[in-house]
Amino acid sequence: MLNQYPVWKYLLILVIVLLGGLYALPNYYGTDPAIQIAPRRQAEVSAAFQQQVRGLLESAGLQAKAVEGDGDGLLLRFDDVDHQLQAAELLDGKLRENYTVAVNLASASPAWLEAFGAQPMYLGLDLRGGLHFLLEVDTSAVIERTYQGFRQDARELIKSKKLGRPRIRVEGGKLVVRYKPDEIGLRDEALDALKSGIRELAFETRDMPEALTIVGTVREKALRDIQRLAVQQNIATLRNRANELGVAEPVIQQQGENRIVVQLPGIQDSAKAKRILGATATVEFHLEDVEHSLAEAKKGRVPFGSRIYYDREGVQAYLLKKRVVTTGEHITNANAGFDSQTGSPAVFINLDAAGGNAMKRTTKANLKKPMATVFIEYKPQGKGPDGKPLPPKKVEYVINSAVIQGVFSRRFQITGLESSAEAGELALLLRAGALAAPIQFVEERTIGPSLGQESINQGTRSVVVGMILVLIFMAIWYRGFGLVADVALVMNLVLIVAVLSIMQATLTLPGIAGIVLTVGMAVDANVLIFERIREELRNGNTPQASIHAGYAKALETIADANITTLIAAIVLYTFGTGPIKGFAVTLSVGIVTSMFTAIMGTRAIVNLVVGGRKIRKLSI
């Protein structure tokens, strides 16, 4: 019989619509301005602490809408952003020593919705507020590190060819190789070897009475490549770190030769974001020099190839070999946890193949010898008298030193950390990767959620007005069938919101524009179907045959039109940036859901109302 679906198809459509409504519902409840309080070191979040927090708020005339336990911390909800920010400033001043106070936005959905994993959509920087940073990459540090690498290459090359033992240094941004005045033959052979072995450098000789010198300078093209790759690697690392902060769809892109724009929607804790994004922390693993005396080294007689390091407090000294076993660049994964034997905080490390092989060779050749983990970071020093940022200060200290008890390669652990919070942050930085070069924060802007509220209201109004106008037009022009299309249109909007919420996609102003465009486009399919039904009726076909032919014959045209638009949306997403991607996502989702509602949704309603019946006239 014409125009009837099997029962399973009705049930499938009903389930999809109900699930769509369920996962779209959290957006009705929205989010609450909130404060998260997390303990540091040995601090606890107890009932007495909750009372202390309530007392501090009441003494300042502030009232939290709700105070909830949030895992190991405390979550305070407020009615508006002004009270949230006032409370955050108060609590941070009172609790800073033992607790971390951070402002955020918490879902206001009821618990039964959260039990289904239903969450509201993320909102972009222009709607939700957040942080905007302009960063400048200090490429001089990566150039210095590159020269140190060339220095090591030059030493190994000269040693392998047995060309004497010249002094090889990095001085004034150049590689300098010095031979004694009577070693001109060795100098000339070394010059030829270096020219053929290290092509990135341009070499020249500078003879002086006290030494015969070879000077190597990075070629212009190689220098540009080094700087460009440093910026690109920093962008990739910053994107990883933004993901670790829990930011959905961050905007991270290059601006000019050595600047990077970072936008973090929904993040209000500027201090934490700057600490995580700007940290140039990494680790290096060095063997301890057990063949020489630490006491003699501390008197100034440091053996060649070794160096003195200190612990965090600057008290305990270590004599370590300069040769690096492996670095944080070879770390593929890092997770915080606790040592199974001592119960102390630890970071569990996974290395890539190259790092694992180096670690295996080292541990196999140095059993029962100590190996130290050196923590390295660059700390910003603010601005100089001229107002320009000072170069960051390099800080190095030994986290721990342990005797190699057995051969290991790709998996091991780092201990000696002060707290589980420190272990967690170190694991985050190692997991996200090390910055190729230090960065300076040139510009910082905090955009409050209230600034985006007007944009949200205007965007919502545009969707509502567009929807109402389309609903009225369809109801007037296509009568009963127009009302069916109106139901499908509302269903389509609900499904778009639901899919975006499930994807946890970021909604921006261009994304709202994509939804408005989809609302207009969603009825195109129904217009094609309804006009085809009218044509079949004018040709003298029965109502049931006209309905069947209308849906069957219009399907190919609908598919062609929507697929071409979908291809354009995919291209926009692939090659676009931030806001353009937001538009492309909502447009793509809207195309898919509109095809479902316009073809299957309206057909199901029409089949239920008029399918299988003898009718003489259609309301179309």
* Mean pLDDT value of segment 483-491: 88
CB 164 within 8 A of CB 205: no
**What pTM, to 2 d.p., does this model score?**
0.58
Does the pLDDT value for residue 271 go beyond 60?
Answer: yes
Q: In this structure, are residues 538 and 619 in contact, taking their beta carbons and an 8 Å threshold?
A: no
Q: How confident is the model at residue 382 (pLDDT cuts 50, 70, 90)?
A: low
Give the pLDDT confidence score for residue 22 in this predicted structure. 92
* Tokens at 164, concatenated: 């004497």
Which residues on adjacent β-strands are paired with residue 75? 36, 68
- Which DSSP letter does residue 45 get? -
Cβ neighbours of residue 509 closer than 8 Å, sequence gap 6 or more: 124, 126, 127, 455, 459, 579
Give me the mean pLDDT over the 385-410 stretch. Answer: 76
Q: Which of 64-78, 209-223, 382-396 has the highest mean predicted lDDT (pLDDT)?
A: 209-223
- pLDDT tier at 552 (50, 70, 90 boundaries)? confident
Q: How confident is the model over 587-608, as a mean pLDDT?
A: 87
Token pair for residue 218? 């990075």
Helix 602-610 vs helix 7-24: crossing angle, to nearest 10: 130
Residue for token pair 């790092």: 355
Residue 41 scores a pLDDT above 60: no
Q: Tokens representing 74?
A: 């405390």
Identify the band that residue 448 occupies on the pLDDT scale cut at 50, 70 and 90.
low
Cα angle value 33/39/44 (rounded, 5°): 115
Q: Tell me which of 138 and 8 has the higher pLDDT.
A: 8
Is residue 270 within 8 Å of 448, Cβ to Cβ?
Answer: no
- Section 46-67 average pLDDT: 86
Whether residue 269 has pLDDT greater than 70? no
296: left (phi > 0), else alpha (psi -120 to 50), else beta?
alpha
Can you point out the beta strands (E) in 166-258? 167-171, 174-179, 201-208, 211-218, 251-255
Q: In the predicted model, what is the mean pLDDT of residues 529-556?
A: 84
Compute the distance between CA of residue 417 and CA of residue 354 in angstroms, rounded to an integer. Answer: 26
Residue 451 confidence (pLDDT) above 60:
no
DSSP string, 390-427: PPPEEEEEEEEEEE--S---SEEEE---S-HHHHHHHH
Higher pLDDT, 246 or 182: 182
Distance CA 425, CA 335 (A): 10
Average pLDDT, the chain: 81
How confident is residue 319, by pLDDT bands cut at 50, 70 and 90?
very high
Distances in whole angstroms, Cα of residue 588 to Cα of each of 25, 563, 566: 21, 10, 6
- 463 has pLDDT over 80: no
**Stretch 251-257: mean pLDDT:** 82
Q: Rounded to whole angstroms, what are the CA distances from 324 to 251, 285, 286, 288, 328?
A: 35, 6, 5, 11, 11
Q: What does the pLDDT average to over 46-65?
A: 86
- Which ranges of 208-293 does DSSP label H, i.e. alpha helix? 220-244, 270-278
Q: Rounded mean pLDDT of 43-58?
A: 83
Q: How confident is the model at residue 320 (pLDDT cuts 50, 70, 90)?
A: very high
In the DSSP assignment, the letter for residue 291 is S
Residue 282 has pLDDT above 80, yes or no: no
Model pLDDT, residue 71: 59
Could you give the angle at which helices 7-24 and 449-503 cross, rounded to 10 degrees? 150
pLDDT(433) > 70 = no
Q: What is the pLDDT of residue 308?
A: 92
Torsion angle in degrees (nearest 10) through CA of 231, 232, 238, 240: -160
Q: How many CB atoms lie within 10 A of CB 106?
A: 18
Residue 392: what pLDDT? 66
User: What number of other Cβ atoms are within 10 A of residue 542's Cβ?
Assistant: 14
**pLDDT of 418 higher than 80:** no
Nearest residue to 281 (alpha-carbon basis) of 384, 431, 71, 162:
431
User: What is the rounded distance in angstroms from the CA atom of residue 99 to the CA atom of residue 91?
Assistant: 9
Residues 452 and 391: their CA atoms lie apart, in Å, by: 36
Which is it for the CA torsion 234, 237, 241, 243, positive or negative?
A: positive
Say what the pLDDT of residue 18 is: 92
17-45 mean pLDDT: 81
pLDDT at 19: 92
Structural domains present in the chain: 7-26+450-610 (1.20.1640.10), 31-108 (3.30.70.260), 130-260 (no CATH), 279-445 (3.30.1360.200)
Taking the C-alpha atoms of residue 323 and residue 403, their distance in angstroms, rounded to an integer, is 18
Comparing 516-520, 594-598, 602-606, the range with the smallest average pLDDT is: 516-520
Reported as a pLDDT band with limits 50, 70 and 90, residue 72 is low
Mean pLDDT on 353-371: 86
Give per-residue burial for 8-40: e unless 16+ CB within 10 Å, then b: eeeeebeebbeebeebbbbbeeebbbbbbbbbb
CB 350 within 8 A of CB 397: no
Length of the chain: 620
Q: Tell me what pLDDT residue 425 has.
A: 67
- Residue 524 tokens read as 């195109």
List the Cα angle 172/163/303 in 5-degree steps: 65
Q: What is the mean pLDDT of residues 357-366?
A: 87
pLDDT tier, 63 (very low <50, low <70, confident <90, very high otherwise): confident
Lowest mean pLDDT among 94-103, 361-370, 465-474, 534-543: 94-103
Place of tokens 């390091």: 309
In which element (H, E) is residue 78 found? none
From the list 432, 511, 479, the residue with the least C-alpha distance to 242 is: 432
SS3 382: coil
User: What's the rounded Cα separation, in Å, for the pair 219 and 173?
Assistant: 12
The DSSP annotation for 316-330 comes to: SEEEEEEEEEEEGGG
Over 80: is that where the pLDDT of 430 sits?
Answer: no
pLDDT above 60 (res 27): yes
